[in-house]
Amino acid sequence: MQLEIQKLEPKPIYVTKPWVPPLDEFFEELKNIWESRILTNMGPYHQELEKQLKEYLDVPYISLFSNGTLALYTALKILKLDNSDIITTPFSFPATTHAIRLVNSNPIFTDINSKDCCVDMKSLSNTINIYTRAILPVHVYGNSCDVEEISRLAKYHNLKVIYDAAHCFAPNNKILRAGDMSILSFHATKIFNTLEGGAIISHDLEMKEKIDSFRSFGISKHSLIPEIGFNAKMNELQALVGVLNLKDMPEIISARKECTEFYNKHLSNNLTIIPSSNYSYYPILIDDRDEVYNYLRENNIYVRRYFYPLISDLPPYKDIVTAKEYNLPVANEIAKKILCLPLYPELTQDEQERVIELVLKKIKIKEYEPTV
């Protein structure tokens, strides 16, 4: 009798794996929520997380939200940027531009630079006109836009500046002090997560109070409702996850740095690597990107084309004049080549070697030798 030998598929490797606190720690703290029955409305864990994040990030004021998209929407509403022309980049997650459209404003796309994928300053300067009301730059992969030059342009043209800093979680992060506001995301895929979540960084108490009122139906600290708002509060379960995850940040960043350095050691001589200042992503540029992407997926390695397609190529935005390819040459070129490799604290060296070996094999570089 001939036995049929079943080939085992390699264990899947995903582009990221959310960091979660130990269950015993979570359950122990969860008892406090169950006993108090305070589930939302800026409860004890919400207040504690705001306090800890303010210190960790070294920012003047921070307001927590149930997700980053609602935080960005709130910033646009608070700064009264409805029905405006707002310059942004097409090289971002669609939420950046969706928020602009949700306040009935027009996203105007400008190009990015090839070094760090942030907004190109010459392109930005050329895009500003008499109709421009604000700039919404994106700090990509944790890399900082040229905040000083953007500040100079904004002051000269009397423009508001809101930074999409979804990728920019890092201790004592001075770039979060730039602009009128900065928006953070605490989505499960980010370095620091609260399952879902986000925040607005603001610069004075009056602005924080306006933000806090708007995220809670327009209710002010005096229990009055001076204007319309909506419900975008972070709940206590999200805040609890945040409090527990925040104390693990040194370990998280250290592990991500180690993974990044291992990739660099074996890939930097053969590939173009886009830096990630806080080790949030590992983006590479490959000419035959889609072939490599499909090949890795066939081998149970789930990488991500991040960002692809450009927002300017999505159906809701194809009518925008600046979405034409000749106006966004760098963004179009990078979107065709970008590929983010798996990167998270629990990624093992064996798993990284598997990723590296298959990438180099597909681009026909065979000198890689696994670590003994």
What confidence tens digit (pLDDT) does each residue in 284-339 have? 999 999 999 999 999 999 999 999 999 999 999 988 755 455 589 999 999 999 99
237 contacts 39 by C-beta, under 8 angstroms: yes
DSSP E strand stretches across the chain: 13-14, 61-65, 85-88, 106-109, 132-136, 160-164, 181-185, 198-202, 272-273, 283-285, 301-302, 338-340
At 19, the pLDDT band (50, 70, 90 cuts) reads very high
pLDDT, average across residues 205-213:
95
Q: Which residues pair with 201 in a beta bridge?
A: 62, 182
Straight-line distance from the first to the last Cα atom of the chain, in angstroms, rounded to the nearest whole number: 40
Type of residue at 311: I
Q: pLDDT tens digits, residue range 226-251?
A: 778 899 999 999 999 999 999 999 99
Does residue 369 surpass a pLDDT of 60? no
CA torsion through residues 288, 294, 298, 303, sign = positive
Structure tokens at 184: 């953070």
pLDDT > 70: what percent of the chain?
94
CA 185/CA 194 separation, integer angstroms: 9
Residues spanned by CATH 3.90.1150.10 within the chain?
A: 249-362
Structure tokens at 186: 């605490």
Instruction: Say what the pLDDT of residue 326 is.
Output: 56
Long-range contact pairs involving 37-46 (C-beta distance under 8 Å, separation at least 24): 38/236, 39/235, 39/236, 39/237, 40/233, 40/235, 40/236, 41/216, 41/233, 42/216, 42/233, 43/236, 43/239, 44/236, 45/236, 45/239, 45/240, 45/242, 45/243, 46/233, 46/234, 46/235, 46/236, 46/239
Q: pLDDT tens digits, residue range 21-51?
A: 999 999 999 999 999 999 999 999 999 999 9
What mean pLDDT is reported for the chain?
93
pLDDT, average across residues 58-77:
98
Instruction: Say what the pLDDT of residue 323 is.
Output: 46
CATH fold label, 249-362: Aspartate Aminotransferase, domain 1 (3.90.1150)
pLDDT, average across residues 346-367:
90
At 371, the pLDDT band (50, 70, 90 cuts) reads low
Instruction: Say what the pLDDT of residue 372 is.
Output: 44
Does residue 366 surpass a pLDDT of 90? no
CA 144/CA 146 separation, integer angstroms: 6
Q: Which residues pair with 106 in a beta bridge?
A: 85
pLDDT, average across residues 247-271:
97
Does residue 188 surpass a pLDDT of 80? yes
CATH fold label, 23-245: Aspartate Aminotransferase; domain 2 (3.40.640)
CA 143/CA 43 separation, integer angstroms: 33
**pLDDT higher at 344 or 364:** 344
CA 214/CA 227 separation, integer angstroms: 8
Least confident of 57-66, 79-88, 97-106, 363-372: 363-372
At 365, the pLDDT band (50, 70, 90 cuts) reads low
Residues spanned by CATH 3.40.640.10 within the chain?
A: 23-245
Instruction: Say what the pLDDT of residue 291 is.
Output: 96
pLDDT, average across residues 85-91:
97
